Structure 1
Amino acid sequence: MTKPKVYVTDYEFPNLKFEEEVLLPIGAELIGVQCKTEEDIIEKCKDAVGLINQYAPISRKVMESLPNLKVVARYGVGVNTIDLPAATDLGICAANVPDYCMDEVSDHAMALILACARKVVLMNNEVKKGNWDYKVSIPIYRIRGKNLGLISFGRIAQTLAGKARAIGMNLLVFDPYVPETVAKQYDAKLVSLEELLRESDFISVHAPLTAETEHLISEKELQMMKKSAFIVNTGRGPVIDEKALIKALQEGWIAGAGLDVIEVEPPTADNPLLKMDNVVINPHAAWYSIEAEAELRTKTARGVAEVLQGYFPKYLVNRDVKAKLQLKEL
């Protein structure tokens, strides 16, 4: 009997041991490749029954070109690499891992908030240049009592909310899909985006990337912010219009930014953000810890394994596909 082939379309890990531990015992063959384009995937994964995906584009064209494909599972929470309507049309399950890095990302968001507020990176760089003078950091304001605005209020933002309250911050939330009762559980005030922008001393962006949220924060929104405010993004880069953000920072509309994600990753060498002392920038690392990586890879592989064993995946994203398939519920 031919083993079902599962391809990892692209990955940054040194091996695929966690994926193998899930898929090999159920009789699947796991094949790691490094694809960047639709054509790469179609050429290298043409007999795939399952795909595990990181950044390569899983478009309608790709899925239509893989006749045996049953499931695509993406490393991470976001599924913007997968054409979800096409997957549903073609009867292909799409899965993600929505619950693997809540502490890591919320910790990282808080680290960026604190680094911006206390100007830790600026002073570190000055000391290493031989300038032992705290006055390079002026002004710094007390964090307790300041307003933290959370854009989107899912699992990660809710986890951050508890940490922010513990250090005395007030919470404002903008999320059109969250009821006021949920916000109240975290002692947070549900507000409009405009109120959040005008009232927040720090803004932490957690929105997923969709057609609705792309460039949600642009020139108009940045001009609403306090001149003393900082914006932090550990969600998806394109939620903030990067050209508008650069302009806001250059012209002093806001005090600074803490960025784990940007519109184009990695940035080009001439990106102005890399030269700004009031910007802390990290390489899309907020998700990472030893434990989170193991959990992510194991759960992603499980999403594929569940379909191969005749079940809908636990973390099925395109739930409308259920009408097209005769799979069992877990």
Structure 2
Amino acid sequence: MKIVITECDHDAFDIERAVTDPAGADLVLAQSRDAAEVIANAAGAQGILVQYAQITAEVMDGLPDLLAIGRYGVGIDSVDVEAATARGIAVCNVPDYGTEAVSDHAIGMALAAARGIPRLDRGVRAGSFDLVAVRPLYLTRDRVFGVIGLGLIGTATARKAAGLGYEVIGYDVRADPADDTYHGVKSVSLDELLERSQVVSLHTPLDEHSRGMIGAAQFAKMRSDAILVNTSRGGVADTAALVDALRAGEILGAAIDVHEEEPVPVGHPLTEFDSVVLTPHLAWYSEESYAELKRRTVENVVEVCAGRAPRNIVNPEVLGAPGRNEACAPALAGKGA
């Protein structure tokens, strides 16, 4: 069994090897920059582990032995799942590993932006010792915290926001409009959430329905004292529209961990605003979540390659595909898996 890490910026891979070695799998680390390099570096692999690489139909066709794709993370927008399913390739993610870390970060960013903490810190370092630049400041009590996307992370964020005294409301595309609550959170329409919330926190996956869902029209509906928090995916909010809204004073500020272009280029327009807090796509990170992500990503792929059902799979229908067990057999020949 050969498993290739197509590219990854992690600092060590002992956790992955602790899974692959007992299974008798060969783990290979590559740093592929494009589709051609992914294909070349993963030649002969039954499984690949992916961080940022785009795994397209072209890539899959170039890897005829491929049985499983494991993504380091929750989102699978970088993988053509339809193409994988058509080719009998399992796509696996880790949908619940970072719930506490991401919700912690969302709350931390919301408070930092609302209290002007980064701007105050820069002022103190420059010799300024006043709060004029960040006034007015308000208590969290009785302010409205709107959560868009009430999955595991969104509901955890809602719970923590309520604990700080916010009035919490939520919107989820899956919620029945006739119901008053969804997953324990007061459920409202998207328009009502945008119109009422001083904090709008995004927790929706990126797909064809959510891409650009917060754009110019939505910013125009938001309060002038609102802060947008995004720890989901950069493409959910239109960055150009966000910059325009900030410049026009349509909203007060933003706290952004995920970006449409990563890494964020030096001199990006969002860096011009003192009212914007930026972090480098690390909301998922804690020592605990980091270890869990690495272990479960490779476990999923090893399980598929061994002919077993993994803990997490996006397209489970491929597991029952005719000939799958036979396809797994060469991967396991002479191995301990």
The amino acid that maps onto 1:218 is G
What SS does structure 2 have at the residue aligned with 1:25? coil
3-state secondary structure, aligned to 2:22 = helix
Q: Which residue is 1:204 aligned to?
A: 201
Q: How does 1:26-37 map to 2 (within 5 A)?
A: 26-37=23-34
* Counterparts of 1:220 and 1:308, CA distance in 2: 47
Q: Is the 8 A contact 1:9 1:41 kept in 2?
A: yes
- Given the alignment of the two structures, is residue 80 of structure 1 paired with residue 85 of structure 2, yes or no? no
Partner residue in 2 for 1:130: 127
Q: Which residue of 2 aligns with 1:143?
A: 140
Corresponding residue for residue 242 of structure 1: 239
1:58 to 1:194, Cα distance in 2 relative to 1, 3 A: same
Q: Work out the number of aligned pairs and report it.
A: 323
Separation of aligned partners in 1, 2:174 and 2:310: 24
Aligned to 1:155: 152
Deviation at 1:184, TM superposition (A): 5.1
Helix, strand or coil for the counterpart of 2:108? helix
| Correspondence for 1:302 | 299
Q: CA deviation at 1:123?
A: 0.7
In the TM superposition, residue 319 of structure 1 has moved relative to its aligned partner by 2.7
TM-score by length of 1: 0.95
How far residue 181 of structure 1 moved from its aligned partner, in angstroms, is 6.5
Deviation at 1:211, TM superposition (A): 1.2
Return closer, same or farther for 1:300/1:181 CA change in 2, 3 Å cut-off.
farther
Amino acid at match of 1:134: L
**Corresponding residue of 1:167:** 164
Match of 2:334 in 1: none
Rounded Cα–Cα distance in structure 1 between residues aligned with 2:55 and 2:128:
50
The yes-or-no answer on 1:225 pairing with 2:227 is no
Equivalent residue, structure 2, for 1:54 = 51
* 2:116 counterpart residue number: 119
2:120 partner letter: M
AA partner of residue 93 (structure 1): A
Question: Hey, what does 1:291 align to over in structure 2?
Answer: 288
- 165-174 or 282-291: which moved more? 165-174
Letter in 1 for 2:64: P
Contact 2:71/2:93 (<8 A) preserved: yes
Quick one: which of 43, 53, 64 aligns to 2:61? Answer: 64
Flag structure 1 segments of 5+ consecutive residues without an equivalent.
none
Which deviates the most, 154-163 or 177-186? 177-186
The residue type paired with residue 272 of structure 2 is: K
- Give the ranges of 4+ consecutive aligned residues of structure 1 lying more than 4 Å apart after TM superposition: 179-182
Any conservation in 1 of the 2:179–2:187 contact (CA below 8 Å)? no
- In the alignment, the residues of structure 2 paired with residue 92 and residue 196 of structure 1 have an alpha-carbon distance, to the nearest angstrom, of 39
Aligned with 2:11: secondary structure? coil
State the secondary structure of the residue aligned to 2:146. strand
Deviations 1:168-212 (A, max 9, x none): 1111111121357794553x2211111111111100001111111
Taking structure 2 as the reference length, the TM-score comes to 0.93
Gaps of 5+ in 2: 326-337
Deviations 1:43-81 (A, max 9, x none): 111111000000011110111111110000000000111
Give the Cα separation in 2 of the matches to 1:273 and 1:38. Answer: 30
Could you tell me how far apart the structure 1 residues matched to 2:277 and 2:299 are? 36
Percent identity of equivalent pairs: 37
Aligned partner of residue 312 in structure 2, secondary structure = coil
Contact 1:36 1:55 in 2 (8 A): no
User: Cα deviations across residues 206-229 of structure 1 (Å, max 9, x unaligned)?
Assistant: 111111111000000000000011
Q: Distance in 2 between matches of 1:222 and 1:254?
A: 7
TM-align CA RMSD: 1.4
Residues in 1 aligned to 2:175 and 2:285: alpha-carbon distance in whole angstroms: 27
Equivalent position SS for 1:117: helix
Q: Contact 1:46–1:66 (CA<8 Å) still a contact in 2?
A: yes
> Partner residue of 1:215?
212
Preserved CA contact (<8 Å) 2:150 2:183:
no
Q: Secondary structure at the match of 2:7?
A: coil
